[in-house]
Amino acid sequence: GLDEDSIVRIALIYKNSPLCSEGVRRGWIIKEINDVEIAPIMIAQDWEAYNNLLGPMVAGRTNKFLFQKPDNSEVTISSTKASFNVNTVILYETLNLSSGVTGHLVLESFVEPTEQELITAFAFFKSHNVKDLIIDLRYNGGGYLHIARQLASYIGGNGLAGTTFSTLLYNNKMQSANQEWPFISTSYSLALPKIVVITTRGTASASEAVMNGLDPHIDIVSVGDTTTRQHFARRGWECLPVGFWDC
């Protein structure tokens, strides 16, 4: 991604990715890919040139990266593309703030691996007696609604079980698909009165559903940019057509 100074940086990195195994971390500056300066391409949003530079999405393709590390030293890394399992919980940790023990969760999407990853994260939060929670959804474009419900149920607590998390409403051609999604009971509920959510324009769909579904029950503090469809949102629901989580 581009930062405010139009410098290209690693915005997030999967722990099983080839570059992560080489020591590359969030915040590193990418100066060149295959001896081509990358910033002008991203500033121009020339995604055809970007994709041509990185080559096809097939295992075995090797690209050369010139990075600038946080200590301002430069390193060249040749990285070969490979298939790997993504992690959607990029980070979970506790912060010892003046208000007490605060949980910090960075979540990239709501897909199949997310379910077990959230169990691990919230078991950790529960064992550390977390009373406040910061959720980073800046790069989360959404995913499965049932996993969004899982996250919201951990946050809201078992007292919400059975009440409406989200309602799916279709037009008159799909009335049979209308559905209520209630909150569920979980083993690691925190029952928090308030959460802070970090958002961008890329925060979308299931991410927004978590915020909308919890909004009637707890205080949601959004920090950052307006989410993808915030101006269309209504409390407690999100519109989702067949096949893709989008309005």
The span from the CA of 140 to the CA of 165, in Å, is 19
Digitized pLDDT (tens) for each residue of the chain, 247 residues in all: 899 999 999 988 999 999 999 999 999 999 999 999 999 999 999 999 999 999 999 999 999 999 999 999 999 999 999 999 889 999 999 999 888 899 999 999 999 999 999 999 999 999 999 999 999 999 899 999 999 999 999 999 999 999 999 988 888 889 898 989 999 999 999 999 999 999 998 899 999 999 999 999 999 999 988 888 754 444 444 444 333 333 3
Q: Is 57 exposed, middle or buried (0-12, 13-18, 19+ CB in 10 A)?
A: exposed
pTM here? 0.80
**In this structure, what token pair is assigned to residue 220?**
């949601």
CA nearest neighbour of 179 among 232, 229, 237, 112: 237
- Nearby residues of 127 by Cβ (< 8 Å), 6 or more positions away: none
